[in-house]
Amino acid sequence: MPQHWNAAFIAAPSDPDGRNPAPAPYLRREFTVGAGLRSATLHVTAVGLVEAHLNGAPVGDEVLAPGWTSYRHRLVVSSHDVTGRVVEGGNALGAVLGEGWAVGRLTWEEGKRAVWADRPAGFLQLDLDYGDRVDVIRSGADWRAGTGATLADSIYDGETHDARREPAGWAEPGFDDTHWSPVEVVPRDLSTLIAPSAPPIRRVQELPAVDILTTPEGRTVVDFGQNLSGWVRLTVRGEAGTTIVLRHTETLIDGEADFRPNRTALATDRYVLRGGGPETWEPRFTFHGFRYVEVEGWPGCLDTEAMTAVVVHSDMRRTGWFETSDELVNQLHRNVVWSMRGNFVGVPTDCPQRDERLGWTGDINAFGPTAAFLYDVRGVLGSWLTDLAAEQREQGHVPLVVPDVGAMPVTTPTALWGDVAVSLPWTLYQQYGERELLAAQYESMTAFIDSVEARLDERGLWSSGFQLGDWLDPDAPPKNPAGGKTDAYLVACAYLCHTTHQLARTAAVLSHADDAARYTALHQRVRVAFRDEWVTPSGLVANDTVTAYALAICFDILDPAQQARAGRRLAELVDRAGHRISTGFAGTPLVAHALSRTDQLDTAYRLLLQTECPSFLYPVTRGATTIWERWDAIRPDGSLHDTGMTSLNHYALGAVADWLHRVVGGLEPVEPGYRRMRIAPRPGGGLTHATLTHDTPYGRVRVAWRQEPDGHLTVDVAVPPGATADVVLPGHPDELTVQAGPGSHRWEYDVPTPERPVYTLDTPLKELFRDSALWAALQPVLRRHLPQFADADSGTEPSLPSLRILLGYFPVQAPALEADLVAVLQERTVAG
> Which range binds ligand BGC by CB under 6 A, 45-53, 219-227, 349-357, 794-802?
349-357
Shortest CB 343 distance to ligand BGC, Å = 10
* CA 470 centroid distance within chain: 18
| Element spanning 619, H or E | helix 618-621
- Chosen residue from 311, 351, 405, 701 binding ligand BGC by CB under 6 A: 351
Residue 765 neighbours by CB under 8 Å, 6+ apart: 798, 800, 801, 802, 803, 806
Q: What angle do CA 675, 678, 683 make, to 5 degrees?
A: 150
φ/ψ (deg, to 5) at 482: -85, -10
Shortest CB 361 distance to ligand BGC, Å = 8
Shortest CB 360 distance to ligand BGC, Å = 4
Q: What angle do CA 267, 273, 274 make, to 5 degrees?
A: 140
As a dihedral over the C-alpha atoms of residue 370, residue 371, residue 372, residue 375, rounded to 10 degrees, the angle is 130
Q: Does 413 bind ligand BGC (CB under 6 A)?
A: no
Shortest CB 545 distance to ligand BGC, Å = 20
Q: Does 387 bind ligand BGC (CB under 6 A)?
A: no
As a dihedral over the C-alpha atoms of residue 291, residue 292, residue 297, residue 302, rounded to 10 degrees, the angle is 90
- C-alpha distances out from residue 395 to 24, 340, 363, 392, 415, Å: 33, 29, 21, 5, 18
What is the spatial distance between Cα 254 and Cα 259, in angstroms, rounded to a whole number?
A: 13
Q: Does 265 bind ligand BGC (CB under 6 A)?
A: no
The residue among 190 and 410 lying less far from ligand BGC, judged by its C-beta, is 410
What is the spatial distance between Cα 528 and Cα 517, in angstroms, rounded to a whole number?
A: 17
| Element spanning 738, H or E | strand 737-740
Shortest CB 107 distance to ligand BGC, Å = 10
What is the spatial distance between Cα 290 and Cα 392, in angstroms, rounded to a whole number?
A: 33
x/- string (CB under 6 A) for ligand BGC, residues 532-571? ----------------------------------------
Shortest CB 653 distance to ligand BGC, Å = 10
The residue among 263 and 675 lying less far from ligand BGC, judged by its C-beta, is 263
Residue 298 neighbours by CB under 8 Å, 6+ apart: 220, 236, 244, 306
Q: Residue 177's CB: how many other CB atoms inside 10 A?
A: 19
The residue among 653 and 765 lying less far from ligand BGC, judged by its C-beta, is 653
What is the spatial distance between Cα 408 and Cα 479, in angstroms, rounded to a whole number?
A: 18
The residue among 376 and 391 lying less far from ligand BGC, judged by its C-beta, is 391
Q: Does 156 bind ligand BGC (CB under 6 A)?
A: no
Shortest CB 585 distance to ligand BGC, Å = 7
The residue among 263 and 783 lying less far from ligand BGC, judged by its C-beta, is 263
> Which range binds ligand BGC by CB under 6 A, 23-31, 272-280, 358-366, 369-377?
358-366
The residue among 363 and 515 lying less far from ligand BGC, judged by its C-beta, is 363
What is the spatial distance between Cα 797 and Cα 766, in angstroms, rounded to a whole number?
A: 6
Q: Does 356 bind ligand BGC (CB under 6 A)?
A: yes
Grouping H, G, I as helix, E, B as strand and the rest as coil, residue 280 is strand
How many chain residues bind ligand BGC (CB under 6 A)?
10
What is the spatial distance between Cα 408 and Cα 110, in angstroms, rounded to a whole number?
A: 14
The residue among 351 and 516 lying less far from ligand BGC, judged by its C-beta, is 351
- Chosen residue from 363, 404, 470, 487 binding ligand BGC by CB under 6 A: 363
The answer to whether the CB of 408 falls within 8 A of the CB of 466 is no
Peptide bond into 66 cis (omega under 30): yes
- What distance, in Å, lies between the first and last C-alpha atoms of the chain? 69
The residue among 351 and 546 lying less far from ligand BGC, judged by its C-beta, is 351
Q: Does 350 bind ligand BGC (CB under 6 A)?
A: yes
What is the spatial distance between Cα 172 and Cα 53, in angstroms, rounded to a whole number?
A: 9
What is the spatial distance between Cα 658 and Cα 589, in angstroms, rounded to a whole number?
A: 7
The residue among 272 and 586 lying less far from ligand BGC, judged by its C-beta, is 586
Q: Considering only CA atoms, which of 32, 14, 5, 284 is closest in space to residue 124? A: 5
Shortest CB 779 distance to ligand BGC, Å = 38
Q: Considering only CA atoms, which of 316, 369, 396, 832 is closest in space to residue 593? A: 369
Shortest CB 638 distance to ligand BGC, Å = 23
What is the spatial distance between Cα 345 and Cα 817, in angstroms, rounded to a whole number?
A: 60
> Which range binds ligand BGC by CB under 6 A, 31-39, 45-53, 271-279, 360-368?
360-368
Q: Does 86 bind ligand BGC (CB under 6 A)?
A: no
Grouping H, G, I as helix, E, B as strand and the rest as coil, residue 169 is coil
Helical ranges in 280-396 per DSSP H: 327-342, 361-374, 378-395
> Which range binds ligand BGC by CB under 6 A, 13-21, 357-365, 598-606, 711-719?
357-365
Local structure of residue 13 (DSSP, 8 states): P
> Which range binds ligand BGC by CB under 6 A, 348-356, 387-395, 692-700, 822-830?
348-356
- Residue ranges in 421-480 that form contacts with ligand BGC under rule CB under 6 A: 468, 471
Shortest CB 650 distance to ligand BGC, Å = 6
The residue among 359 and 460 lying less far from ligand BGC, judged by its C-beta, is 359
Q: Considering only CA atoms, which of 747, 816, 745 is closest in space to residue 786? A: 816
* CA 679 centroid distance within chain: 25
Grouping H, G, I as helix, E, B as strand and the rest as coil, residue 730 is coil
> Which range binds ligand BGC by CB under 6 A, 148-156, 232-240, 355-363, 617-625?
355-363
- Residue ranges in 635-664 that form contacts with ligand BGC under rule CB under 6 A: 650, 652
Q: Which residue number has the CB closest to ligand BGC?
A: 350
What residues are annotated to the active site? 356, 629
Helical ranges in 632-771 per DSSP H: 657-659, 765-770
Q: Residue 131's CB: how many other CB atoms inside 10 A?
A: 9
The residue among 26 and 360 lying less far from ligand BGC, judged by its C-beta, is 360
The residue among 471 and 605 lying less far from ligand BGC, judged by its C-beta, is 471
> Which range binds ligand BGC by CB under 6 A, 147-155, 354-362, 507-515, 692-700?
354-362
Got the DSSP string for 459-504?
A: TS----S----STT-TTS-TT-TT--SS-HHHHHHHHHHHHHHHHH
The answer to whether the CB of 59 falls within 8 A of the CB of 53 is yes
Q: Does 360 bind ligand BGC (CB under 6 A)?
A: yes
The residue among 157 and 629 lying less far from ligand BGC, judged by its C-beta, is 629
Shortest CB 126 distance to ligand BGC, Å = 41
Orientation angle between helical segments 361-374 and 420-432, nearest 10 degrees: 10
What is the spatial distance between Cα 583 and Cα 601, in angstroms, rounded to a whole number?
A: 18
Q: Does 362 bind ligand BGC (CB under 6 A)?
A: yes
Shortest CB 417 distance to ligand BGC, Å = 7
> Which range binds ligand BGC by CB under 6 A, 80-88, 356-364, 608-616, 745-753?
356-364
Shortest CB 549 distance to ligand BGC, Å = 23
Q: Enumerate binding residues for ligand BGC (CB under 6 A).
A: 350-351, 356, 360, 362-363, 468, 471, 650, 652
